[in-house]
Amino acid sequence: MMTQASLTIGEGVALISVERPEALNALNRDIVDQIDVLIDRVAEDESVRCLILHSDRNFAAGADIKAMASCDEEGAKAFCFSPTYNKLTRLSVPVIAAIEGYALGGGMELALTADIRIAGESAKMGFPEVTLGIFPGAGGTIRAPKLIGEALAKELIFTGDPIDADRALSIGLVNKVVDDDQVLETAMKMAKRIARRGPVAVRMAKDVINRGLLDNNVEKGTELEAEQWAKLFNTEDQKEGMKAFMEKRKPEFRNR
């Protein structure tokens, strides 16, 4: 197994990065498994006060379409990233997503697990799943409506159109937009500020906010989402949508 996710820890800040530039950091099962192990290490390290998710040039252009294309329903269930993503939501310390380039599909959904999002000015974000004959399968249908509201989440999820950083800022999908070369630095500065605050208080604040906003919903919601999502891998539309991506052409959906 190639190591494609790394962890560094210093000055109270942990940083998880993905390195798969040839596929714009698209996420496959191996990489998400590696991230899962790194999250456990972060959770066990008492020196960590804040976690940053950041990858060079592109946050992640989604889940790996080439790896998913031939999945059946069972395969899709096994591919689903929700258990790992839910771990990030449940991590006791704050998580900041520092977004450069594309954050699409499973990449956007990873960014949504963070407490705070910072984007570069040329970042492109969205949920292109419906262009592939599937829908967001890693918590996007639960976390996006909570964050930006039902109507905007439905617009992004039903059209599949990506949005730019300014629109993302205006709808609250990101907290801050900065120059592309300042993304990681800005996240680091914020993380270090958080790291200097009372750690028990910060952790408790996150827990109280999450329990008020998310509990009863995330686990149940992502279970339903994963079930329905996996069913799509029985459809001709999913096969056609992903085949069309790999053949670099427009899909011809037949509604079955």
- Contact residues toward ligand HXC (CB under 6 A) are 23-24, 26, 61-66, 79-81, 102, 104-106, 128-129, 132, 137-138
Gap between the Cα atoms of 55 and 119, Å rounded: 12
74 is catalytic: no
- Structure-block tokens of residue 117: 């999002």
Measured from the CB atom, the residue of 24 and 152 that comes closer to ligand HXC is: 24
Question: Residue 98 — φ and ψ, nearest 5°?
Answer: -105, 110
Shortest reach from residue 61's CB to ligand HXC, in Å: 4
Active-site option among 11, 22, 100, 109: 109
Shortest reach from residue 160's CB to ligand HXC, in Å: 8
Active-site option among 129, 223, 225, 247: 129
Gap between the Cα atoms of 87 and 36, Å rounded: 8
Shortest reach from residue 75's CB to ligand HXC, in Å: 11
Query: 31 with 79: CB under 8 angstroms?
Result: no
Contacts of 251 by beta carbon, 8 Å cutoff, 6+ apart: 131, 132, 133, 237, 240, 241, 243, 244, 245
Measured from the CB atom, the residue of 128 and 221 that comes closer to ligand HXC is: 128
Neighbours of 189 (CB within 10 A): 12
109 is catalytic: yes
Residues present in the chain in total:
256
Measured from the CB atom, the residue of 120 and 137 that comes closer to ligand HXC is: 137
Gap between the Cα atoms of 231 and 77, Å rounded: 9
Shortest reach from residue 137's CB to ligand HXC, in Å: 3
| Active site positions, annotated | 109, 129
